[in-house]
Chains A and B, each alone.
Chain A
Amino acid sequence: MEFLQVIILGLCLGFVYALMVSGLTLIFGVMRIVNLAHPILIISGAFVSYWLFIKLGLDPILSVPAAALAVALLGVLLYKLIFEKNAAQQTYSEMTVLLTFGTAMVIDGLLAFLFHNTQRTTSPGYATDAIFIGDIFIPLAQLYSGIISLVIIIVLAVFLKYSEFGIAIRATSQNRTSAELVGVNVKFVCLISFAIGCALAGSAGALVSFVFSFFPSRHWEWIAILMSLVVLGGMGSLTGAVVGALVLSVISSLVGAFYSPAWSTMVFFLALFLILIIRPMGLFGVRTD
């Protein structure tokens, strides 16, 4: 029974992780930018929710759109200032990774300077509640965040699959030149998909604010965690990211429950290493270079 319990908790967290990486994998797919600034954008979203909660008493779940919008605007600003020049070519370059690395440091330093590196978390009423199904208890915070993440991911998947703009995004990520030939405005697609990626980070941040405790410098740890998820799933593939997130989250929860919580994050880092040895392009990925 305890086994099932742990798996359910792992799955709930897994969907949150999936939401966290969905934006990352979208941005990589379209622009070949490995956005190391993604985790700090998530934390920025968490801060938006945090302040809305503290000042206005707004429920973090309701502040998901606000956080998404705020971070998306930040993303557009960053894109215009920093990435526009490099997003123009589709080939991957080391330089853009270092650019995102620098961006992450800038936002990290700014947030830490303004708000200090203290542990924070929003605490809506349900944060400490749980429901029981038979012997299994599910904390409401995890349950709600898992469900909301799932909904957002499904909306994203449907948008990418069926809407005209979603098709344009997928076409651009498959082959930029051909997409341009059939009349896709690639520059605009890049801008919007960067903004969508950042909005996903922001909405994940709002959920993270009551599931995990957060502080600005925590994003270094999350960089490695999120990267392990996308590398497992294959860079640029949304399905892969979701599957990778669920699998690793469940394994990490199992390790945390049956071995020691201290080692549960190690699962992500070791997985990242093992995948690089066995299958560098990920389980669902294709070689991009």
Chain B
Amino acid sequence: MVLFSFLYITMSSSWNIIGGYGGFISIGHNVFFGIGAYFSGFIYARYGISPFYTAVFAGMIATFFGFGVGLITLRVKGPSFIISSIALLMIFRTLFDRWELVGGAHGITLPHNNLSVEWSKIPHYYALLVLMVLSILLSWYVRHSKFGLALRSISHDEIKSEVTGINIKIIKVTAYAISAYLIGAAGAIWGDYLTYVRPNIFFIILIAANMVLMCILGGKGTVTGPIIGTIVIIFFNEFILANFGASELNIFFTGLLMILTLLYFPDGIIGSLKKRKLLPGFLDWD
């Protein structure tokens, strides 16, 4: 559960860079998660190099893809962008389902590490912890840098931002690529943690839905929002699982929570508290 929190904080903080600051809602962001997992998993299965080393490169591959994809999809905004992000996810899902080199629908099975059972997950714990800290630092940096300022101005009005001399194309695509990096690296670690990499685990829309929901619930466009949102959702999910047990109901409640948040707290927990001046100082990193 702690590992799960670390993973999702990394992902939702990274999503927040393009979705929260930039205003480009992507419901297919786990494409990068899957790409990272597949890249490292493939190398591990074929050449035996541990994903802990290749995670760095997995992130780079994800960034590279993010750059290429961003150049195409970030030309459009609003509904078209959201739709294109779903299309992207479906393209990759279909592709990896059919690609025999990486095992088709069965995916890649990775060898276990040779640590004893109670220690075997410790490396993942520290790796994800590092990624989480990096993602929060990155998010903080983007929020407070000139780059982040440009990004936020784009999210309000692209044309006006361009008039003030911001190269909107570069900023948008860079933000998209940056947000892909840590998600890709996290995917590499997570693939090793699960010891198998399959399309129906990494390329499902529910992961992306969770990322979006965590950000929105916590408050998108804030540094601490995704962290709080993630913790709340993870506890909520565990609560549902413990009480009702069925994963279908989990989808139901996730959707319900998303609707309720959007209807009644569009600013999220952090945003709403801030408006009412109730936000404790240690959570206000903006």
Query: Which B residues are CB-close (under 8 A) to A99?
Result: 258-259, 262-263
Majority-rule SS of B interface residues: helix
- B263 and A82 within 8 A (CB): yes
| A252-289 with Cβ < 8 A to chain B | 262-263, 265-266, 269-270, 272-273, 276-277, 280, 289
- A interface bracket (residues with beta carbon within 8 Å of B): 35 or more
Question: Does A227 sit at the interface, judged by CB under 8 A?
Answer: yes
Tell me whether A280 and B80 are in contact (CB under 8 A): yes
The number of chain B residues touching the other chain, given as a range, is 35 or more
Q: Indicate which residue in B73, B78, B216, B255 contacts A92 across the interface (CB closer than 8 Å).
A: B78
Interface centre among B95, B209, B256, B259 (most CB of A within 10 A): B259
B25 contact from A98, A116, A224, A262, Cβ within 8 A: A98
User: Which A residues touch B258, using CB under 8 A?
Assistant: 98-99, 101-102, 105
Interface segment, B34-42, B48-56, B82-90, B271-279? B82-90
Q: When each residue 163-201 of chain B gets 1 if its CB lies under 8 Å from chain A and 0 otherwise, what string results? A: 000000000000000000000000000000000000000
Chain A residue at minimal CB-CB distance from B259: A102
Inter-chain CA distance A270–B94, complex, in Å, is 11
A34 to B84, CA, bound (A): 13
Q: Is B161 an interface residue (CB 8 A)?
A: no
Asked if A95 and B87 sit within 8 Å, CB to CB, the answer is no
CB distance from B207 to the nearest CB of A (A): 12
Contact digits for B69-112, partner A, Cβ 8 Å, 1 yes 0 no: 00011011111101110111111001101100000000000000
Q: Say whether A113 contacts B83, CB under 8 Å.
A: no
Residues of B within 8 A of A277 (CB): 72, 75
Distance from B240 Cβ to chain A, minimum over Cβ atoms (Å): 10
Specify which chain B residues have a CB less than 8 angstroms from the CB of A95 in the assembled complex.
262, 266
Residue in A113, A269, A272 with the greatest tally of chain B CB atoms within 10 Å: A269
- The reply to whether the CB of B141 lies closer than 8 angstroms to some CB of chain A is no
| Contact assessment for B252 and A110 in the assembled complex, using a CB-CB cutoff below 8 Å | yes
- Residues of B with C-beta under 8 A to A113: 246, 248-249, 252
Whether a CB of chain B sits under 8 angstroms from the CB of A221 is: yes
How far apart sit A130 and B79, CA to CA, in the bound complex (Å)?
41
Q: Does A123 contact B (CB under 8 A)?
A: no
| B205 proximal to A (CB < 8 A) | yes
Chain B residues near A58 (CB, 8 Å)? none
In the complex, A104→B259 CA distance in Å?
10
Q: Is the CB of B76 within 8 A of A276?
A: yes
Q: With A and B bound together, what is the CA distance between A219 and B252 in angstroms?
A: 14
Task: Tell me, rounded to whole Å, the shortest Cβ–Cβ distance linking A260 to chain B.
Answer: 8
CA distance A34 to B246 in the complex (A): 30
Q: Which residues of A contact B73 (CB under 8 A)?
A: 273, 276
Query: B residues within 8 Å of A by Cβ?
Result: 23, 25, 27, 72-73, 75-80, 82-84, 86-91, 94-95, 97-98, 205, 209, 212, 216, 246, 248-259, 262-263, 266
